[in-house]
Amino acid sequence: MASIKKVAVIGAGLGGLSAAARLASNGFQVDIYEQNKSAGGKANNLKFDGFRFDTGPSLLTMPFVLEELFNDCGERLSDYLELKKLELTCKYFFPDNTILNAFSDQKRFAEEIALKTSDSKESVIKYFKYSEDIYTLTSDLFLYNSPSQVSTYLSKKALTALLNLKKIDTLRTMHKANASFFKDKKTVQLFDRYATYNGSNPYLAPATLNIIQHVESKLGAYVPANGIYSISEAIEALVKKKGGNIFYESKVSSILTDGNAVRGIKVNEAEKEYDAVVSNADVNYTFKYLLNDSVLSESKKLRKLQPSLSGVVFYWGIKGTYKKLDIHNILFSEDYEKEFFEIFEKKICPVDPTVYIYISSKYNNDDAPAGCENWFVMINAPFNENQIWEDEIRKTRERIINKVNSMLGINIKDKIIAESILSPVEIESKTSSYRGSIYGISSNSKTAAFLRQNNKSSSLKGLYFCGGSAHPGGGIPLVILSGKIASELIIKYEHNDD
Ligand SMILES: Cc1cc2nc3c(=O)[nH]c(=O)nc-3n(C[C@H](O)[C@H](O)[C@H](O)COP(=O)(O)OP(=O)(O)OC[C@H]3O[C@@H](n4cnc5c(N)ncnc54)[C@H](O)[C@@H]3O)c2cc1C
CA distance 332 to 164: 34
The stretch 7-32 carries a mean pLDDT of 98
Q: Please state whether the peptide bond connecting residue 63 to the residue before it is cis, i.e. omega within 30 degrees of 0.
A: no
Over the chain, what is the mean pLDDT?
Answer: 94
Tell which one of 55, 280, 379, 420 to mutate to probe ligand 1, the residue whose CB is within 8 A of the most ligand atoms.
280
**Each residue's pLDDT tens digit, 124-153:** 999 999 999 999 988 877 777 766 665 666
Residue 190 predicted with pLDDT over 70: yes
What separation in angstroms does the CA of 226 have from each of 229, 263, 374, 459? 8, 40, 14, 42
Cα-to-centroid distance, 232 and ligand 1 (Å) = 11
Q: Is 410 exposed, middle or buried (0-12, 13-18, 19+ CB in 10 A)?
A: middle
Cα-to-centroid distance, 493 and ligand 1 (Å) = 27
Dihedral over Cα of 87, 229, 472, 485: its sign: negative
pLDDT at position 150: 59
Residue 1 predicted with pLDDT over 60: no
CA distance 447 to 421: 34
Q: Is 199 in the pocket of ligand 1 (CB under 6 A)?
A: no
What separation in angstroms does the CA of 34 have from each of 9, 129, 439? 9, 43, 19
pTM of the predicted structure, to 2 decimals: 0.95
Residue 498 predicted with pLDDT over 60: no
Contact by Cβ (8 Å): 44, 17: no
Strands 99-103 and 60-61: unpaired
CA distance 277 to 263: 8
Cα-to-centroid distance, 379 and ligand 1 (Å) = 17
Cα-to-centroid distance, 431 and ligand 1 (Å) = 6
Residue 253 φ then ψ, to 5°? -100, -25
**Each residue's pLDDT tens digit, 264-313:** 999 999 999 999 999 999 999 999 999 998 887 888 888 889 999 999 99
CA distance 259 to 155: 35
In 242-318, where does DSSP find H-type helix? 283-285, 296-303
Contact by Cβ (8 Å): 273, 257: no
CA distance 240 to 248: 13
Q: Is 309 in the pocket of ligand 1 (CB under 6 A)?
A: no
Q: Which residue has the higher pLDDT, 139 or 410?
A: 410
Q: What is the DSSP code (8-state) at residue 107?
A: H
**Each residue's pLDDT tens digit, 470-493:** 999 999 999 999 999 999 999 987
Residue 357 predicted with pLDDT over 70: yes
pLDDT at position 152: 65
pLDDT at position 496: 66
Residue 20 predicted with pLDDT over 90: yes
Strands 328-331 and 355-359: antiparallel
Residue 104 predicted with pLDDT over 90: yes
Q: Is 438 in the pocket of ligand 1 (CB under 6 A)?
A: yes
At 402, the amino acid letter reads: N
Q: Whose Cα sits closest to atom 47 in ligand 1?
A: 431
In 10-57, where does DSSP find H-type helix? 14-25
User: Where does the pLDDT of residue 123 fall: very low under 50, low under 70, confident under 90, or very high at 90 and above?
Assistant: very high
Helix (H) or strand (E) holding 298: helix 296-303
In 379-475, where does DSSP find H-type helix? 389-408, 424-431, 448-451
Domain 6-40+228-305+444-494: which CATH number of 3.50.50.60, 3.40.640.10, 3.30.30.10, 1.10.3720.10: 3.50.50.60
Contact by Cβ (8 Å): 200, 473: no
How are strands ordered across the β-sheet holding 88-93? 99-103, 88-93, 328-331, 355-359, 372-381, 310-319, 416-422
pLDDT at position 170: 87
Q: Whose Cα sits closest to atom 50 in ligand 1?
A: 57
Q: Is 424 in the pocket of ligand 1 (CB under 6 A)?
A: no
pLDDT at position 149: 63
Q: Whose Cα sits closest to atom 49 in ligand 1?
A: 41
The stretch 205-218 carries a mean pLDDT of 94
Contact by Cβ (8 Å): 308, 421: no
* Closest to 340 (Cα-Cα) out of 214, 447, 212, 193: 193
At 310, the amino acid letter reads: S
Measured distance between the N- and C-terminal CA atoms of the chain, rounded to whole angstroms? 12
pLDDT at position 111: 98
Size (the chain), residues: 498
pLDDT at position 304: 86
What separation in angstroms does the CA of 17 have from each of 198, 284, 406, 431, 483? 21, 20, 43, 14, 7
CA distance 436 to 5: 34
Helix (H) or strand (E) holding 341: helix 336-341
* Closest to 278 (Cα-Cα) out of 450, 498, 482: 482
Contact by Cβ (8 Å): 373, 320: yes
436 phi-psi bin (left φ>0, alpha ψ -120 to 50, beta other): left
* Closest to 468 (Cα-Cα) out of 446, 436, 445, 496: 436
User: Where does the pLDDT of residue 175 fall: very low under 50, low under 70, confident under 90, or very high at 90 and above?
Assistant: very high
pLDDT at position 154: 61
What number of CA atoms fall less than 13 Å from residue 448's CA on the CB side? Answer: 26
Segments making up each domain of the chain, as ranges: 6-40+228-305+444-494, 107-217
Strands 276-279 and 372-381: unpaired
What number of CA atoms fall less than 13 Å from residue 302's CA on the CB side? Answer: 23
Tell which one of 42, 65, 283 to mutate to probe ligand 1, the residue whose CB is within 8 A of the most ligand atoms.
42
Q: Is 350 in the pocket of ligand 1 (CB under 6 A)?
A: no
Contact by Cβ (8 Å): 445, 30: no
